[in-house]
Structures are given as structure tokens and as C-alpha cells.
Chains A and B, each alone.
Chain A
Amino acid sequence: MKYQRDPVRIRKVLGDKVQFIQGDMAVAYGGLVAGVSFFGGYPITPASEVAEGMARLLPRVGGTFIQMEDEIGSIAAVIGAAWGGVKAMTATSGPGFSLMMENYGYAIMTETPCVIANVQRTGPSTGQPTLGAQGDMMQVRWGSHGDMEAIALAPSTVQECLDMTIEAINLSERYRHPVCVMTDGEIGHLREKLVIPDEDEIELVERRTPKLPPGEFLPFAPSQIDGSKVPDFAAFGTGYHTYVTGLTHNEKGFPRTDKQPDHERLVMRIIEKITDDRKRFVNIEEVMMDDAEVAFVTYGASARPARSAVMDARKAGIKAGMLRLKTVWPFPRDEIMAVSKKVERIIVPEMNLGQIYHPIREYTDQACEVVMAPKIGGEMHLPHELAEYLGVRT
């Protein structure tokens, strides 16, 4: 029997509306609320709690959880389930994310809606498994081979772990693209208040199905409903006999691998379906930016000590602010450009050696000074460390 989302059952299985839970569990809750009915995953610290939550909850709402043999299999099964017509997701951390990269590219090329939650840690290699970091902010953008765009969201709170997982599912359905929720070990294991939204507080997006019959329907052409660059989706089992391949293909889905224009046309459409629409969904938060002269531009866990540091700086009379990237990819370049024209200095705190600092430099184009504020080793910046960047003397 095919999965039918039952909001009443889902809410009952999730329990109390207000809970005090970990970020990882909030990701699992978000998936359930959004109608995910397939989760394939493999244990990895600090993301295992997402799989554990799904293993406990999904069967009780009629969904399927499978612990796959590795992360390659996990993302593969997720993509298979998506073509089977359901909403599907997985969760992992750095090493597993590295293993997923080939099939992540496959999902991009075949325009498969699915979600990967990456509870980030650091590397290279095994690194510090139990500690949080932001090790994959560039891997999510460029980790698979070839040319592509990424959609990646970065939650800073437990509530956002749920909210952004729902949003990620929606974006994946709307743009037929694998969407990544780039959380981290710090937020993943933090317990915080979570309010589970009621059914009337959420909006769910469903992939659009063909309006034309088999034979006339083109599975990899711009939408035959309204010309949007996102093709309509014919799930397996609906009689369309869709052929899906990671090879460069034509609008019918048939391999066309040796002509330059065929490849360029396909890849550009896959990129532009996202970049053309960036204004619609790129999301940022501004904190005390109205009169700011110096600003943090940051995301995820790093935004938490940055927020504390901004408050400390304001108490010291320094006009500090923060631009928080809730959407990290596609890159909020217009928003960052605007900030660079307003402030004298941008400081970029990250739990890596400047993965987002470099694109910020690119898009600010020397309109203001951009300072790297990296911290590696599995600890967040201390608020006073960041306050010093703002000129607060401790």
C-alpha cells in the first residue's frame, strides 16, 4: 500500500506540542510533519539520533525506515523512493556526506526531490566525531563532479531544525532538487524548546504531476503546465514509463552524451531553475543592522555566539549587527552586496577555515573590509572572542 500522510496520526505519534528536545530529533520531527515516508540512513555521530528518531517514529505512521549498508546506499534508496513517488530523506555527517557525493550529483542531474540533513562535524577524515563544526559548507556546493547549483539551509536553533527540514522538503518538491539541511553537532545535540506546528500553521508543497498523457509528456523538459524550468514529475507506477538516467539526456530522458549543446542546455536549465527563482526563497535574518557600522555575516551554530557578541558590543556603544544566512546556497549575494555597501567591516565567524568567507569576499567586491574569524577544533567561538573582533575590550 502506498503511503498516505495522516496528519492526525503524525501529531499523536510526535506527542506534546511543546517539547524540550535535541536538534537531531527536531530534524526527524520536521521530516514526519512534512510528509516524509521513507528514510534510508546509516549510523554516524553526531547524526545518528535523526535515524534513531525515524526508526522509532516512521513505522508508526506507516512510513518506511531502513538502515542501509552505508551512506552510498542510503542516498541511493532515498532517490529510488523519490522516483517511487514519495517524500524521502536521509541524514548524515561529514564522512557519510563525502560518500554520498556521487549520488547527490545523480539526484541533481535526474532532478530528484529529496533531502539530506547533514549534522556537520570536521575533518579531514574522521576528525572529531563527537564535536560540532561546519566542515561541509563547500562540499555541499561543489562536492560532486561537474557544474551545478546547490540549495542548502543552515539552522541555528532546535526550532529551526524542524522548520528548515519542512522548508527543505518543500523546496526539494518545488525545484526537484536534493536540498541539504546543514546543521551541526552543536545544534544537533543541543536541547531546546520546540513547538510543533499545527496542520494549519504549515504549508506543504507537492511536486507537480504531468497534465499531458504518456506519449505527449516530456519528463525532462520545462514544465508543460506553465513553461517553468522545473519539469513536471511522473512518478514510477503512474503509467508514464519514464526513463531516468544520470547521463546527459534529452527532454524525453534519452541519453545524448556527445554533443556540446545538448549538455549545456540541460545543465543550464537545471541550474537556472534555482538561480532564476532565488529571490523567492533565499532567506536571511538581520540583527541590529539598521545603523550597523560593523557586521557579522554568519550562519548556523556560529550565529549564536555572534548574536551574543553583538549584544555585548551594543552595550559598549559599538554599532554592531549581524546578517545571518538561513539560506547559504544559492548564495545570498544581493543581500551580502547590500550589507557591504552599508558597513565598514564584515566579520565572518565560521567553524572552519573560511569556507563562506571566500564567496563573501567575492560578492562584496572590496566595497568593505572582510575579515575571516575562523575557529576549528570542535568548539564554538566564545562570545567575548567575537566581541573583540567588534572592538569590545575585555
Chain B
Amino acid sequence: MSEMIDANEIRRKYLRDGMLPTIFCNGCGHGNAIDYTFWAIEELGINMDDVALASGIGCSSRIPGYINADGLHTTHGRALAFATGIKAANPDMHVIVFTGDGDCTGIGGNHFIHAARRNIDMTVILLNNFIYGMTGGQLAPTAPKGSIATTAPYGNIEQPFNISELATALGAAYVARWPIFYPYQPIKSIKEGIQTPGFALIELMSPCPTAYGRRNKLGEIDQLWAWYEQNTILIEDYEKTMRYGTEEEKAAVKEKFLIGIFQKAEKPGFFEAYDRMVKKLMANDDAKWGGGGAE
């Protein structure tokens, strides 16, 4: 970790020249996610030549364009599959995916499930804003019940996706969820995610005042902040309430979003396991052939 570095220096160091301004609206949380990632990378002392970014389609997927590193801005929903290939070819690179709730769990749900299940070595920073923002506010699979979207004009009647709990159930090595308003926890989680062998998911609840807020009486940024305050609870507090709380208190926290670290497991990532298999197979062949295959 470097001595002292201020925010301007950080931005000069890590932003890609010629790509600003961003496409993000006032009050959008995505810029914070970029900032937190810079701080995490700075604190870890990672060389940007060793970072590969991937993304799909949507507002959050524009992020690799703004970061001065190799970046693959791909097709809708497929970033994790692309990232799998990047990591396979370059096992020593840090592969970081920026994606959104619609990109990753709507159209890309199947890739998400399998990348998490395989424990593919990558860090997925998922910006969940409950909406398809770039295309103007269509219903996302994460949209809270009753929320309004252009394609759910009478209110969402579907059960929303709980992304972090899904990733946890799939055995992802690292899973955390934080509202984007708190800087320290997301930065710490991004750092831990990058350092974790295997699949790391950092779900950041990022407000979309334009496409989600306006339709759901949360168009002002302070309203959104207040909403996040009222509708999230730390995992530890939730568990305490569920264990020791009154029925009333339990009912009050039941519908809230859990925030915190859902899972932190020490297990080999896919490519570590694969590499082990390769070494064993090649050693077997070498023994069989009596000497190396290589010249």
C-alpha cells in the first residue's frame, strides 16, 4: 500500500484517457463502484498490466471503458463466459467482471450459475439497481415486489432474485453485498474478492434515480439513501433479531435486504484444480515415455 494518495491522483492513475465523461446520470452509484475498485487495486498494489476486465451490456458494463486496463465489453449477459476464457488463457491475470442485475441474472443467469458453481477464478462486481437502466427502465429479475417498471406498469408481481444468496448456495468462494453508500466495506470486499482463489461476488446495491427512482417515488437521491437505510440490515443484526427478538421485531426485519459477507470459503478455484490435473497427466506421460515430451 502506498504512503498517501489522494482521490485526484487515484483517478489520474487509473482512468482511461479519452473516454470521459461517463454515461452515468446524476445520483447513479456506478461511479462509486469505479472509485472503490481503484482504491482496492491501489491498496493491493496490483499492476494494471495484470488486470483484465470484462463486462456485458448495460450501464454497469460500460465501466471497463473508463478503466485503464485491458477490457472486453461483450454481449448481453455473457461476460462471465468471456471472462472464463480470458482467465484460462492468462491464469496469472486478475480477471474482474463488471455486470448488472439484468445482465448477470436475467439474460446471463445460466452463465452466472455455472461460473459460481465451477468456482471459476474471477471477481464479479455486480451493480444491482433493480432495473434495466440503459434501455429506459424495464423490469429486472431483481425488482422488488410492487415496484414499477415500464414493462411492469401495474407493479411487479414476481418474486425477485436474491443474487448473493443464490451465489452462496452455489458454493462461490466469496460472496458479499453492500449498499454503495458505504465506501469502506465495498473496498474491503473488493480487495478480499480479488485475493480469493475461485469465484468472488461483490453485489453492490447501486441506486438508479433516473430509471428506477423516478417511477418508484425515489427520484431524489436522499430518498434513495433513506430507502437503503430502512430496507437493509447487517447479517449479524438479522441473525441476532431472529434468535432473540420479539415476533414484532422479527416481522420488521424479515423483508429487509441482508448486507455483509455471506460466504468466505477456502477452496481451490477451477483453474488451480485444472492445473493440478494437467501436471499429473503430463507427469504420467513423461514417466510412460521415459523422459520429457519437450525437446
- Which residues on A are within 8 Å of B, measured CB to CB? 1-3, 6, 8-9, 12-13, 37-38, 40, 59-60, 62, 64, 66, 68-70, 72-74, 76-86, 88, 102-103, 106, 236-247, 252, 254-255
Contacts and interface: CB of A to CB of B under 8 A. Distances in A.
A60 B281 contact: yes
B259 to A, nearest CB: 29
Contacts of A70: 110
A72 B85 contact: no
Contacts of B70: 83, 236-237, 240-243
Nearest to A80: B85
Interface stretch (B61-69, B126-134, B261-269): B61-69
B85 A241 contact: no
Kindly name the residue among B19, B89, B278 whose own CB sees the greatest number of chain A CB atoms within 10 A: B89
B78 A6 contact: no
B52 A84 contact: yes
Complex A-B, nearest 4 residue pairs according to Cβ-Cβ distance, in ascending order: A84-B89, A80-B85, A9-B293, A76-B81
Interface string B48-83: 111010100000000011001111111100100111
A238 B50 CA distance: 8
Nearest to B57: A246
A8 B111 CA distance: 36
Contact of A88 (B19, B73, B89): B89
A76 B74 CA distance: 9
A40 B278 CA distance: 16
A83 B64 CA distance: 15
A94 to B, nearest CB: 20
Contacts of B71: 241-244
Nearest to B113: A69
B9 interface: no
Given A84-B89, A241-B68, A13 B81 contact: no
Contact of B65 (A64, A78, A240, A255): A255
B294 A8 contact: yes
User: Size class of B's contact patch?
Assistant: 35 or more
7 contacts: A2-B90, A69-B111, A74-B81, A76-B78, A79-B85, A83-B86, A88-B89
B16 interface: yes
Given A62-B282, A80-B54, A2 B81 contact: no
A83 B72 CA distance: 8
Contact of B49 (A2, A80, A85, A237): A237
Given A76-B75, A242-B71, 20 more contacts: A6-B295, A9-B282, A9-B293, A40-B85, A60-B285, A62-B278, A68-B84, A73-B78, A73-B114, A76-B111, A80-B88, A81-B86, A81-B89, A82-B89, A84-B93, A106-B75, A241-B70, A243-B64, A244-B73, A246-B75
Interface of B: 16, 18-19, 48-50, 52, 54, 64-65, 68-75, 78, 81-93, 110-111, 113-114, 271, 274-275, 277-278, 281-282, 285, 289, 293-295
Contacts of A244: 71-73
Nearest to A9: B293
A88 B90 CA distance: 13
A103 B293 contact: no
Given A59-B277, A243-B73, A2 B294 contact: no
Contact of A40 (B84, B277, B294): B84
A236 B90 CA distance: 8
A237 B81 contact: no
A79 B81 CA distance: 9
B88 A77 contact: yes
A356 to B, nearest CB: 29
Contacts of A236: 52, 70, 72, 86, 89-90, 93
B84 A84 contact: no
Contacts of B78: 72-73, 76, 103
Contacts of B274: 59, 64
A80 B65 contact: no
Contacts of A37: 89
A214 to B, nearest CB: 9
Contacts of B54: 80
A171 B212 CA distance: 47
B86 A80 contact: yes
Contacts of A78: 85
Nearest to B91: A1
